[in-house]
Amino acid sequence: MKRFLSISVFLIIFQPIIAQQNYVPTNENMEARQWFQEAKFGLFIHWGVYSVLGDGEWVMNNQNISIDDYEKLPSFFNPIDFDAEEWVKMAKDAGMKYITITSRHHDGFSMFDSQVTDYTIVKKTPYKKDILKPLAAACKKEGIKLFFYYSLLDWHDDNYFPRGRTGTKIPGRADGNWEEYIIFMKAQLTELLTNYGEIAGIWFDGHWDQKEWDGEKYGKVKVDWHYEEIYKLIHDLQPQCLIGNNHHLAPIEGEDFQMFERDLPGQNTTGWGTNASDVGELPMEVCETINGSWGFNLKDNKHKSEKELVQYIIRSAGYGSNLLLNVGPMPNGEIQLEHIKSLEKVGIWMRENGETIYKTTAGPVAPTDDMAFTRRGDTMYLHILNDTKELFFVENFKGKIKSMHLYKSKEKVNHKINEYGMFIEVPNNKKNQIDTIIEIILK
């Protein structure tokens, strides 16, 4: 009895996350992972009825807007200037290989035609049209892959109960049934994976809402997310579909890639991010905003510069990771001009230098504030991002070098390797403000 008790106590305290057990990715899935690993750059889109208020996608929680009041928003959402082709072309011209769009965010509003709820863009907005449909068609036409972001957390549905740590002050929420909520999510995921052709991946978010928090650290997860069933459902419907989950933990069985939110892999600069010890073996993706917000924010003018954006692509690639760069379209369906302009500049850089990014893996030395390495076969690219000295030092560099020259101009670069690392001589007038790329061919 005592033994039984301690086992049950153990199970309660360390409630395991039950994952898709004995998951063996199919060949299609392994190929998709390879494609993903090589793609390096994608567009994240946070778009929902919240854009009407111009205060980010968390506005319902942040302003404690009641269920009744928030339900008025869809009637103002009429994105007559939305043009899926334009978005996809913009992404493609920026050098992006895929798009990840919010099909349903924490506000619980479905941006697609769903039969299992009335709270959808088709049934509740004057626009009346599914936006994922034309987006899927445009992506297919342009050879861009499409991922759906899907929120596990829901501030609107009563069946999201027990409620999590967020949205607790939103008036008008009632108690509901968790198992019904799981059935609902599975039905919606089935729709998303049946009605839009091939879907490259599902990007889950919201797991952390159900983690206990004592003000300093997270505790156990309060609910059973049924990941085993959900992940299996997705892989049964579309085996190549890559599953990622923004839970900030080590990968759970059944997942196909690992994401890092506003954080380079394993850095945990936010404090609530992923620890270095939880960085797994799966393909990686870093996500970041183009200004300071995910959803459209009228007052956010902290637009990142071309230098910051390009350098973040390089730093991510230096960890072997993709960058998923976010824009939050406006309620009229347009993307802010500032962001279109930024992406155009990034696209020019990628056309000139993409060879040093796409299809590369992490280099021999981990990135520092001043540099990042990428590598393809015997060719390595040293990206000098921040250099004030004419003699650039790379610590711990080992390896036999056949030749070293500036990328593109092919001018020879002098270097010396000793037991501490490598010294590289780059005259100041040969340096580039954003990135000085040195091509190193190994023996």
Residue nearer to ligand JFZ on the CB measure, 189 or 287: 287
Q: In the set 114, 188, 246, 311, which binds ligand JFZ (CB under 6 A)?
A: 246
Residue nearer to ligand JFZ on the CB measure, 165 or 307: 165
DSSP string, 128-152: ---SHHHHHHHHHHHT-EEEEEEES
Report the b/e string of 313-326 with b at 16+ CB within 10 A: bbbbbbbbbbbbbb
Report the b/e string of 292-310 with b at 16+ CB within 10 A: ebbbbbeebeebbebeebb
Residue nearer to ligand JFZ on the CB measure, 304 or 415: 304
Residue nearer to ligand JFZ on the CB measure, 95 or 328: 328
Rg (CA), the chain: 23
Alpha carbon 251 to its chain centroid, in Å, reads: 15
Closest contact distance (angstroms) between CB of 7 and ligand JFZ is 31
Residue with the shortest CB distance to ligand JFZ: 208
Residue nearer to ligand JFZ on the CB measure, 210 or 240: 210
| Tokens 């085996």 belong to residue | 239
Q: In the set 227, 294, 392, 407, which binds ligand JFZ (CB under 6 A)?
A: 294
If one asks whether residue 316 binds ligand JFZ (CB under 6 A), the answer comes out as: no
If one asks whether residue 261 binds ligand JFZ (CB under 6 A), the answer comes out as: yes
Closest contact distance (angstroms) between CB of 339 and ligand JFZ is 16
Q: Compose the 33-72 pattern: x for residues touching ligand JFZ by CB under 6 A, - for all others.
A: -------------x----------xx--------------
Q: Compose the 91-130 pattern: x for residues touching ligand JFZ by CB under 6 A, - for all others.
A: ----------------------------------------
Residue nearer to ligand JFZ on the CB measure, 103 or 353: 103
Closest contact distance (angstroms) between CB of 58 and ligand JFZ is 6
If you count DSSP H runs as helices and E runs as strands, how many of each does the chain have, helices first? 11, 18
Scanning residues 190 to 229, which ones bind ligand JFZ (CB under 6 A)?
A: 205, 208
Single out the residue of 207, 166, 158, 202 nearest to residue 184, CA to CA.
158
Query: Is 11 buried (19+), middle (13-18) or exposed (0-12) by CB count in 10 A?
Result: exposed
Single out the residue of 191, 197, 96, 118 nearest to residue 150, CA to CA.
191
Task: Number of residues interacting with ligand JFZ: please give it, by CB under 6 A.
Answer: 10
Single out the residue of 316, 320, 269, 307 nearest to residue 386, CA to CA.
307
Q: Do 39 and 251 form a contact (C-beta atoms < 8 A)?
A: no
Residue nearer to ligand JFZ on the CB measure, 274 or 360: 274
Closest contact distance (angstroms) between CB of 246 and ligand JFZ is 5
Q: In the set 10, 76, 272, 393, which binds ligand JFZ (CB under 6 A)?
A: 272
Single out the residue of 400, 315, 311 nearest to residue 362, CA to CA.
315
What sign for the dihedral angle of Cα 10, 13, 18, 19? negative
Residue nearer to ligand JFZ on the CB measure, 92 or 106: 106
Q: Compose the 152-171 pattern: x for residues touching ligand JFZ by CB under 6 A, - for all others.
A: --------------------
Closest contact distance (angstroms) between CB of 47 and ligand JFZ is 11
| Tokens 């954003």 belong to residue | 434
By DSSP bridging, strand 201-205 and strand 242-245 are parallel
Q: Which residues bind ligand JFZ (CB under 6 A)?
A: 46, 57-58, 205, 208, 246, 261, 272, 287, 294
